[in-house]
């Protein structure tokens, strides 16, 4: 009898679910891929809300542990399973502090404050209403924060230290999202994004993320 994967992922088809599928691919982990989509009604069922009361994707189930929020899942996977090494700086207190700084900056300033405002008032305008000025302002703020947050030298290799990490997954999916909504990215961000897209883990994760 074949052993069932101990990991289950609920959610596919979004940039946030891609973060989880990509990390699983980088770690070469088997898992049960439950392709629940966003705003399909599946996440609002009693059965799903028993797993995640917030009714959102993605969700990771690992034994008795249930984790939601894409970056928290990616970080848990990297810390729990072997497969991605870190350099001495990344392991140092200073490196960990820089990790936290970058994660907070990307999740708050680039994702939530900028791109999700654009999503709400463009893709989800039927729910949240049209707000052209808010969209213009959010895009401009994204460009300002991206330019101030990441210089060409800082993205010459990886976003944090000299080894690939979940921060690269986070930044790449943010840049992909920005490009998809028509935000003009600096040349060094395009170059960084292109390199990340060449990773086998990205390509497999993208395949597994298809609805």
At 191, list the tokens. 């170059």
Q: What is the largest CA-CA distance in the chain?
A: 59
At 207, list the tokens. 């395949």
Q: Is 201 helix (H, G, I), strand (E, B) or coil?
A: helix
The whole-chain average pLDDT of the chain stands at: 95
* Cβ atoms < 10 Å from Cβ of 197: 12
User: Above 90 in pLDDT, residue 40?
Assistant: no
Give 142-200 pLDDT, tens digit per residue. 999 999 999 999 999 999 999 999 999 999 999 999 999 999 999 999 999 999 999 99
User: Above 90 in pLDDT, residue 1?
Assistant: no
* Lowest-confidence segment of 29-43, 91-105, 150-164 by average pLDDT: 29-43
* Best CATH choice for the domain 88-199 from the list 1.20.1050.10, 2.30.40.10, 1.20.120.140, 1.20.1630.10: 1.20.1050.10
Kindly give, in sequence order, each residue whose CB lies less than 8 Å from that of residue 122, ignoring residues fewer than 6 positions away: 135, 181
> Is 7-84+203-208 CATH 3.40.47.10?
no
Which residue ranges make up each domain of the chain?
Answer: 7-84+203-208, 88-199
Instruction: State the pLDDT at residue 39.
Output: 82
Give 119-138 pLDDT, tens digit per residue. 889 887 888 899 999 999 99
Q: How many CA atoms lie within 13 A of 35 on its CB side?
A: 8
User: Above 80 in pLDDT, residue 2?
Assistant: no
At 26, list the tokens. 């980088």
| Structure confidence at residue 4 as a pLDDT band (50, 70, 90) | low
Instruction: State the pLDDT at residue 178.
Output: 98
Q: Specify the pTM.
A: 0.94
Helices (H), 27-105: 46-49, 70-80, 88-91, 93-105
């Amino acid at each position: 009898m074949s052993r069932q994967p101990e990991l289950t992922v609920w959610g596919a088809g979004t940039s946030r679910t891609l973060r989880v599928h990509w990390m699983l691919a980088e770690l070469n982990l088997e898992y049960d891929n439950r392709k629940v989509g966003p705003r399909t009604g599946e996440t609002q069922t009693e059965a799903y809300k028993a797993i995640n009361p917030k009714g959102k994707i993605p969700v990771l189930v690992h034994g008795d542990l249930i984790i939601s929020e894409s970056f928290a899942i990616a970080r848990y996977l990297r810390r729990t399973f072997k497969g991605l090494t870190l350099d001495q700086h990344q392991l140092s207190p200073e490196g960990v502090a820089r990790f936290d700084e970058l994660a907070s900056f990307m999740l708050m300033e680039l994702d939530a404050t900028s791109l999700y405002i654009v999503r709400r008032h463009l893709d989800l305008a039927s729910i949240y209403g049209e707000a052209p000025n808010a969209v213009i302002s959010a895009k401009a703020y994204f460009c300002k924060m991206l330019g101030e947050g990441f210089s060409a030298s800082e993205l010459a290799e990886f976003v944090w230290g000299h080894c690939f990490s979940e921060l690269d997954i986070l930044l790449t999916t943010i840049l992909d999202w920005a490009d998809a909504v028509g935000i003009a990215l600096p040349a060094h961000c395009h170059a960084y994004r292109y390199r990340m897209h060449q990773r086998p883990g990205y390509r497999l994760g993208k395949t597994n993320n298809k609805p």
